[in-house]
Copies of this chain bind each other. A is one copy, B any other.
Amino acid sequence: MTDIGIGIIGGGYMGKAHSVAFSAVGAVFGTALRPRLEMIAALSPASAERYRKAFGFRRAAKDWAALVADPAVQAVVIASPPDTHLDITRAAAALGKPVFCEKPLGASVEDARAMTDVVEAAGVINMIGFNYIRTPASQFARRLVAEGAIGDVTWFRGEHTEDFYANPTAPASWRTSGDGNGTMGDLAPHMINAALALIGPINSVMAEIETVHSDRDGVSVTNDDQAQMMCRFSNGAMGHLFFSRIATGRKMGYIYEITGTKGAIRFNQEDQNALWLYKAEGPEAERGFRQILTGPAHPDYEPFCLGPGHGTGYQDQIIIEARDFLEAIDTGQSKWPTFRDGLAVSEIVAAARASQATGRWVSV
């Protein structure tokens, strides 16, 4: 058991989540590498110091560059806004340090490509933060589909819907401008990643992206409120994706439904400890979607609790991520999902924007 110095950039929503995750991951998974909360950086030395104290880091950095350069920081976690992702990645890669980056991979598909190139060229361990796919339920769904439990997939429907901007009178903010902060930049990547992970590559898309409330308190909104796309997977399955930040009533609508020739799967992150499975077998009179409660029989559940149905939560997904990142560093092998997997998502987002611009199907 060796320890490793972790540096986290950003102390907001995700900076905190990763701080907690690296605090807990050793005890949960008994990892070979034990993280040491070495350093945290934020927008100013003062805010970094505040986060340091709150989350229990040894030191606060004066800025992210100092953090990346610090020799005691042996792995870098990027939890700052999308437009900082590329520069930080470049700096870390130049020093050969492993990088974990929050989604989306960068502020644009170009950034994402550059980030992927740079980590691959440098040969550094890299990972992107698609946490929702890591619940025991969704990991199990991937396994079921891969093993053919529902036969050949004919249809996939996914959505990522929340309602934090549903109120038309909510004022504009940094979230209402910038491609990376709109629905396509902020929410879509999680579900696109899920679609790719569950079903496989997407060949082509036909999308609609729109700003429903274009004026908030007299300020123009310059990014999107909701978007949908029809898509075709390379295995032939038909698909549909929907994303919204104005989906009144939906709090964490990371929802998917997969239809196969022998069965079907349904999942809703709002009830993340249940996976619904239908199998077209046994007597007709006894068939139905069954609500499987996650437990030790499902991937990555047991380290959190020995009892089935006792449930894991949001924070536990980030702990699973931390485990994988540490294992990747320990073994010297990047683990899924890497920057390349993040790039694949960004390319679909870009194709959707192109489709929106032309009103036509676009190949990925």
Contact = CB atoms under 8 A, between A and B. Distances in A.
A291 interface: yes
B288 A290 contact: yes
A252 B308 contact: yes
A23 B35 CA distance: 12
A361 to B, nearest CB: 6
Interface in A259-291: 259-264, 269-274, 276-280, 283-291
A272 B163 CA distance: 21
Interface in A299-333: 304-316
Given A238-B210, A259-B248, A316-B315, A287 B290 contact: yes
A264 B252 contact: no
A30 B54 CA distance: 5
Main secondary structure of the interface of A (DSSP, over half): mixed
Nearest to A299: B285
Nearest to A132: B310
A206 B291 CA distance: 34
A271 B280 CA distance: 21
Contacts of A280: 163, 166-167, 248-249
Nearest to A16: B27
A208 interface: yes
A28 interface: yes
Interface residues of A, number: 97
Interface in A117-161: 140, 150-151, 154-155, 157
A30 B154 CA distance: 41
A264 B249 contact: yes
Interface of A: 1, 13, 16-17, 19-20, 23-24, 26-28, 30, 34, 37, 53-56, 140, 150-151, 154-155, 157, 162-164, 166-168, 206, 208, 210, 212, 225-226, 228, 230, 238, 240, 242, 244, 246-253, 259-264, 269-274, 276-280, 283-293, 295, 297-298, 304-316, 359-361
Given A20-B28, A307-B314, 17 more contacts: A17-B305, A23-B26, A30-B54, A164-B307, A166-B259, A167-B261, A228-B240, A230-B230, A249-B278, A251-B293, A251-B307, A251-B308, A251-B310, A284-B295, A286-B292, A315-B315, A360-B360
